[in-house]
Copies of this chain bind each other. A is one copy, B any other.
Amino acid sequence: MKEKPAKEKSSRKRPRLRRVDHKLGVPAGSLVHVGEVKTDRPRISLIEFDAAGCDERSFASVAEAREFKPTRQTVWLNVHGLHEPEVMAEIGRRFHLHPLTMEDILNTTQRAKVDEFASYLFIVLRLIDVDRSDGQLNSEQLSLVLGRDFVLSFQEQSRGIFEPIRERMRARQSPTRERGADHLAYALLDVVVDRYFLAVDHLAEEAEALEEEAMSSPSPALLARINRCKRDTLTVRRAVWPLRELLGTLQRSERSSFSPETRLYLRDVQDHAIHVLESLDAVRDQLGDLLDIYLSSVSNRLNVEVRVLTVLSMLFMPATLIAGIWGMNFVDMPLSGSRQGFWWVIAMMGLCAASMGLLFWRRRLLTREE
């Protein structure tokens, strides 16, 4: 999770529930952006399309957008960056969005959900992305508004994940263009769920790497990484979990936002969401064991070191005993009178230590690795 990139140390680790700071004492429905500001200024891009073709537009200001009159059947408005309330207010007025919808779009710490309003369907999703540079997970909010002839999508920042959809709409033959707004909404949902696969894949690899490291070189830093990985898994799970039910709701909904044909496709997306959840559970199981493995790995390494030290200290024992023996006071001791006696005994000590060392070495008691 990289929601709050640098400022405080503790917030790097755990996404706060920041909603509260801004919100306490503010009446519901006020247009205040709650969440981290992730992009410089909002960018609004618009695609209007019908079966015949599509036109793309991009607006620099609200005033400019106000002038615009659509000429084709369906409109897809995509907004990056949500922190300019006047832009949002204008969109809200234009498409007759409920104040609660506006508030939910701007409060980017929402849980995935679907709300049905009289004239549109409001869908909130969590968009999970793996940052390739540092392997951290990004979780941002994607809000979709699906009306009869328009689709609005609100992202916190531009990531280009919808580019393939635009490509396909520009093609001569495009099922999305032909089938209209609800099929476009499906396509957006499909892209989001596909991203979850990437995140789960990344987490599974991380868990694999952590397990190997936990057994070979346990260190406190590893513990922090295990915990981060656990939290990332939880983040993805919390993003996908409500999706399962949400997609079921969309399929069963009696209101005609989705055509029967598109519902078949939604079922497909739902299958993928369940698949993601099952893979996540496997990762969670693995991470659950990791703590035990790490903790006993640390404990074992210590025990191995103590064993090595004990073995080393034993090498001195025969030599010390031999020194003691020839330190005894007897009238007649072997070698005692000999000129080379001292060196013979020293050699005897060396021999004892060496043979014991060899013995222990063979029994693999001197290696630090277990």
Contact = CB atoms under 8 A, between A and B. Distances in A.
Nearest to A211: B227
Contacts of A201: 16-17, 20
A21 B215 CA distance: 31
Contact of A265 (B100, B278, B300, B305): B100
Contacts of A341: 330-332
Contacts of A312: 314
Interface stretch (A51-59, A109-117, A132-140): A109-117
User: Which bucket holds chain A's interface residue count?
Assistant: 35 or more
Interface string A306-332: 110111111011111101111111111
Contacts of A333: 329, 342
Contacts of A208: 10, 13-14
Contacts of A167: 25
Nearest to A339: B332
A253 interface: no
B327 A164 contact: no
**A contact patch SS:** helix
This chain: copies in complex: 5
A255 interface: no
A24 interface: yes
B323 A190 contact: no
Nearest to A296: B295
A306 B205 CA distance: 37
Nearest to A306: B307
Contacts of A115: 264, 267
A28 interface: yes
A3 to B, nearest CB: 13
Interface in A173-217: 175-176, 187, 190, 194, 197-198, 200-201, 204-205, 208, 211, 215
